[in-house]
Structure 1
């Protein structure tokens, strides 16, 4: 599949050309949130200007809001490969949705039942389950990862999932290490013992094709602001599971899918922006040969192009960091990963390096990025964690090279 025209892509992001005191921004903070595409911005503005209302009414703006919500659900179904928009749940963010759904799932559990979490996850897919276990007297089992391979330890997986397991919470791609995990295998193991699988795909969806049918999981969570949209959380759930669970909601609210789990008045403008982001992604595939006949097919083509664009950039980044004295990389090689790269320098702390990069208007993150267990497992909690840099398909070779030059200059100069 042909790569994207990065120049054309960058024109579709209003923030790309913003200057701070004459200095162009280099957005390498993408794992914490991507830039929003113009199509998403325009969709949000259009909603607020022309159809801002609550849903369920007989008047024009309310009817248009109902239509917008249905379109947003259908768009997200296409993005993740779901059978129906009724299986899509919108909310404030992935964390809030996970806390909410965990409580509904907990009503099906008994004391002594087991929940499995991992030491590679963002805490949004750990704390809800730990708190649920504490509330209900459940047993928590942990899947560990191997610091040498930066992948789940197979023995740990075998030992964690038992006949008493009822929920398995895993991540598709690590927000700290960039590792892409075999969630299809883990979901199958969960299903084999009658457990539900809950997949955090927040870091995966901006980079690779997501297909919930192929994965075979019961839930998959993601965030629109990680795939070029606004701050919205989205969860897909198997229809039969969603229909079985009891939602925590007010009495007058509908008991039908998907609204039974969408508590309160949603951010309709956020849903409009999410629809715009999905349409932007579909457009990247629509412009290829054979595109334009089916949105799901266009999305698949788009991510093939995104992967073809990001992979060489990530390889360039990894090779450049490996060549800098004192740098230690964490995470897998160029295969089996998303372009999220974390490292430490022998000569400068992650926070100090991040501040120096910020002085050059290069945006990165340092610390633990809420992946507390990863940092603890690697023994980096007392030394400030790691510096994390993440690429998106709008980044360029020149930006990667500028970043590498600054890292080399700052870190070696601190010796």
Structure 2
């Protein structure tokens, strides 16, 4: 395999715990360099952004470094990179900004495949404005988003479509470029939840055709925060409420108050860590693309082994079946609540959470309700031994 996993793992102090982590979709472990970048920024001379002394310049460098790093990570314009506390917070904020133009007769489309973060803000915003919500489903047998339903729901009255680039519950990766063409053909905007996608694939916002793309660095080895990318020209058309003396420049007009420079520096360090996995040649963007190729090969190899083993286990249903998907599996067990399986595995130091993971609509379509299922997510630091421990634990539980 092209990815040197043992070398990679040496940068993660938390992995010495002996826990086999399959909880990456909820948040990955963090390399020491990210923590060091946060500590160094926070304990170095630091003050409000400026250029007169070192403390001001350090703050300015942290912000600009963050925008540059995330722009390389997403293939976006640095001036269109907005910092947020989380993807949920950013989506609520932009739902407010965008829905200010909606009214009766306007429509917004959401899908039942999405995390509630990319559903409820739009549903609630539409309700406030008197707009109509249209729903697009997915096939529980294949976990594929129904693009025919999407096409039928679109029309001249559509103002925005919210869709996931990868389901955090099932791993399904809908064809976003195709959806983008459909959405733009009716003059609507496309808001893409890329939180789960960005952890497993090389993101190219321009190629995807997303007008807005959100992700969370803590899902790809960074600190807890959110990022939104859009074209600066599109952001210029939105006028959020803000304090009178605060800047009206894009993207700062969307970032209220003093920014957390140390968290931004940590996110930059996470991007640089991933880029380093792609070798020493080329631009940071080129190294990121190379690194993601190696990561995808590594995770795909382990996924195939896991799926082969699961096929031999009795009473296991694998719900993740889409043709294009991430290395994430949702499992349920005949006669056994997923929570019981999760607790059994945890006693063996194998962490595989059970829940609906805020994908409440998707869990409902699958008939799983609030209990959800067991979600096993692979990460760049997952080893063959981790996978074997998971298989052995499931085998022992079902024996």
Confirm or deny a common fold (TM above 0.5).
yes
Tell me, in whole angstroms, the C-alpha distance in 1 between the residues paired with 2:245 and 2:341: 53
Q: Which moved more, 1:357-366 or 1:25-34?
A: 357-366
Tell me, in whole angstroms, the C-alpha distance in 1 between the residues paired with 2:283 and 2:100: 39
Tell me, in whole angstroms, the C-alpha distance in 2 between the residues paired with 1:204 and 1:72: 20
Q: Note if 1:392 corresponds to 2:379.
A: yes
Q: What are the Cα deviations for residues 299-330 of structure 1, in whole angstroms up to 9, with x where unaligned?
A: 11110111111111011111112211000000
Q: What are the Cα deviations for residues 371-398 of structure 1, in whole angstroms up to 9, with x where unaligned?
A: 000110011116x211101000110111
- Report what 2:394 is aligned to: 407
- Does the 8 Å CA contact 2:102/2:126 hold for their aligned counterparts? no
- Report what 1:318 is aligned to: 307
Q: What are the Cα deviations for residues 178-218 of structure 1, in whole angstroms up to 9, with x where unaligned?
A: 11111111111111111110000100111111001111110
- Report what 1:46 is aligned to: 40
Structure 2 unaligned spans of 5+ = none
Counting only pairs closer than 5 Å after superposition, residues 221-232 of structure 1 correspond to structure 2 as 221-232=214-225
1:356 to 332, 344, 347: 344
How far off is 1:3 after superposition?
Answer: 1.7
Q: What are the Cα deviations for residues 18-68 of structure 1, in whole angstroms up to 9, with x where unaligned?
A: 2xxxxx111110000001122211110110111333324733212211111
State the secondary structure of the residue aligned to 2:361. helix
Tell me, in whole angstroms, the C-alpha distance in 2 between the residues paired with 1:411 and 1:381: 23
1:344 to 332, 336, 351: 332
- Does the 8 Å CA contact 1:100/1:248 hold for their aligned counterparts? no
Structure 1 unaligned spans of 5+ = 19-23
Tell me, in whole angstroms, the C-alpha distance in 2 between the residues paired with 1:246 and 1:411: 56
How far off is 1:159 after superposition?
Answer: 1.6
How far off is 1:240 after superposition?
Answer: 1.7
Q: Note if 1:332 corresponds to 2:321.
A: yes
Q: Which moved more, 1:204-213 or 1:56-65?
A: 56-65
Tell me, in whole angstroms, the C-alpha distance in 1 between the residues paired with 2:267 and 2:292: 17
Aligned-residue CA RMSD (Å) = 1.3
Tell me, in whole angstroms, the C-alpha distance in 2 between the residues paired with 1:123 and 1:177: 14
Q: Note if 1:271 corresponds to 2:264.
A: yes
State the secondary structure of the residue aligned to 2:173. coil
Q: 1:51 to 1:341 in 2, by over 3 A?
A: farther
| Runs of 4+ with >3 A deviation | 56-59
State the secondary structure of the residue aligned to 2:215. strand
- Report what 2:200 is aligned to: 207
Tell me, in whole angstroms, the C-alpha distance in 1 between the residues paired with 2:119 and 2:50: 36
1:372 to 360, 371, 374: 360
Tell me, in whole angstroms, the C-alpha distance in 1 between the residues paired with 2:141 and 2:185: 29
Tell me, in whole angstroms, the C-alpha distance in 2 between the residues paired with 1:181 and 1:248: 34
Tell me, in whole angstroms, the C-alpha distance in 2 between the residues paired with 1:329 and 1:191: 35
Counting only pairs closer than 5 Å after superposition, residues 279-294 of structure 1 correspond to structure 2 as 279-287=272-280, 291=281, 293-294=282-283
Tell me, in whole angstroms, the C-alpha distance in 2 between the residues paired with 1:397 and 1:27: 12
State the secondary structure of the residue aligned to 1:344. strand
1:297 to 264, 277, 286: 286
- Report what 1:259 is aligned to: 252
State the secondary structure of the residue aligned to 1:135. helix
Q: Note if 1:11 corresponds to 2:10.
A: yes
- Does the 8 Å CA contact 1:90/1:233 hold for their aligned counterparts? yes
- Does the 8 Å CA contact 2:108/2:133 hold for their aligned counterparts? yes
Tell me, in whole angstroms, the C-alpha distance in 2 between the residues paired with 1:360 and 1:54: 48
Q: What are the Cα deviations for residues 81-117 of structure 1, in whole angstroms up to 9, with x where unaligned?
A: 11x2111001100100110111111122222200000
Tell me, in whole angstroms, the C-alpha distance in 2 between the residues paired with 1:51 and 1:111: 52
State the secondary structure of the residue aligned to 1:251. coil
- Report what 2:174 is aligned to: 181
Tell me, in whole angstroms, the C-alpha distance in 2 between the residues paired with 1:193 and 1:201: 23
TM-score of the aligned structures, taking structure 2 as reference length: 0.97
- Report what 1:21 is aligned to: none
Tell me, in whole angstroms, the C-alpha distance in 2 between the residues paired with 1:405 and 1:345: 16
State the secondary structure of the residue aligned to 1:318. helix
**May I ask how many residue pairs the two structures share in their alignment?**
399
- Report what 2:140 is aligned to: 147
How far off is 1:166 after superposition?
Answer: 0.4
How far off is 1:256 after superposition?
Answer: 0.5
